[in-house]
Amino acid sequence: MAKSFVTVETTGRIATVRFDRGDKANALSVEALHQLTDTARRFYACPDISAVILAGNACNFSLGADLKDPARASQQHQGLAARRIALRAGPEMCEAWEKIDAITIMAIEGWCVGGGAALAVSCDLRVMAKSARMYVPEVARGMNMSWGSIPRISALVGPARAKRIAALCEKIDADTALNWGLADAIAEDGHALARALEFANAAAALPPTALKMVKRDVNIAALALSQATAHRDLEAFALMQQSDDYSEGVASFLEGRNPKFTGD
């Protein structure tokens, strides 16, 4: 039986979800993706919950995809048909969190990298600790940013800033994130969860059905073109996996050296 990386605590109309693999990286392994997806689906149609908080551990929300995960490495050797199915795990996780009826709030301590950032923008609100950072390094690893995150990031910060985040791989501190609309509040270090709870309490005090109706209306208005555009990123990722630049990006990261990209 797989080890559980996710715990859920419910108080009144608020659920607090903690993702913690017990180490500093708190990386998103394939198993972690499945557990986070299953957890989100518990709240998809849950009339008794008005707010769901998602937090990582005290060090970091997540340093992104677990590139050392044997399950992820095995995908490289699969045929295209099987690999396309395996690659759905990330986007399905983000979609599951986006579809939760209740207001979702991510509490971010430390780094929120790659897939962690993709998950963050799938939630409704984001609280960052003062020293927290968001970083989308996929292009620097020879990949495209996927999991349906580009339309979500663009809806939050606009196209130019989305390109700085996802194409130029800029590291975004909490103040910049708040100024750009990527974050909704800043807390003292160690208190992101407490500030997220303030948002959750505000949601829990409101009529739950009206709250959920308005959330749904906003998401449809803001993300009307998402499904029409986001499907391509999975296909692009499957293609990039076959490139020399992808292999070089992953190898250079694991070996701690600067990559040498060729465009092949």
Distance CA 130, CA 141 (A): 27
Tens digit of each residue's pLDDT (9 = 90 or more) over 122-136: 999 999 999 999 999
Strand pairing class (103-108; 111-113): unpaired
Give the model's pLDDT for residue 37. Answer: 98
Give the model's pLDDT for residue 250. Answer: 78
Give the model's pLDDT for residue 230. Answer: 66
Distance CA 64, CA 169 (A): 14
List all residues 6 or more positions away from 84 whose beta carbon is below 8 Å from its beta carbon.
Answer: 234, 235, 238
| CA 28 remoteness from chain centre | 10
Which tokens is 128 given? 């960052």
Of 204, 222, 226, which is closest to residue 103 (Cα–Cα)? 204
Distance CA 119, CA 40 (A): 11
Which tokens is 30 given? 């394939």
State the greatest distance between any 2 C-alpha atoms of the chain, in Å, as a whole number: 56
Class of domain 6-190+208-254: alpha beta
Which tokens is 192 given? 């992101």
Give the model's pLDDT for residue 1. Answer: 60
Give the residues of the chain that fall short of pLDDT 50. Answer: none
Give the model's pLDDT for residue 257. Answer: 86
Give the model's pLDDT for residue 24. Answer: 95
Which tokens is 29 given? 């392994």
Residue 255 has, within 13 A of its CA and on its CB side, a CA count of 10
Strand pairing class (172-173; 133-135): antiparallel
Give the model's pLDDT for residue 256. Answer: 84
The answer to whether 250 and 141 are in contact (CB under 8 A) is yes
Give the model's pLDDT for residue 102. Answer: 98
Give the model's pLDDT for residue 45. Answer: 84
Give the model's pLDDT for residue 173. Answer: 98
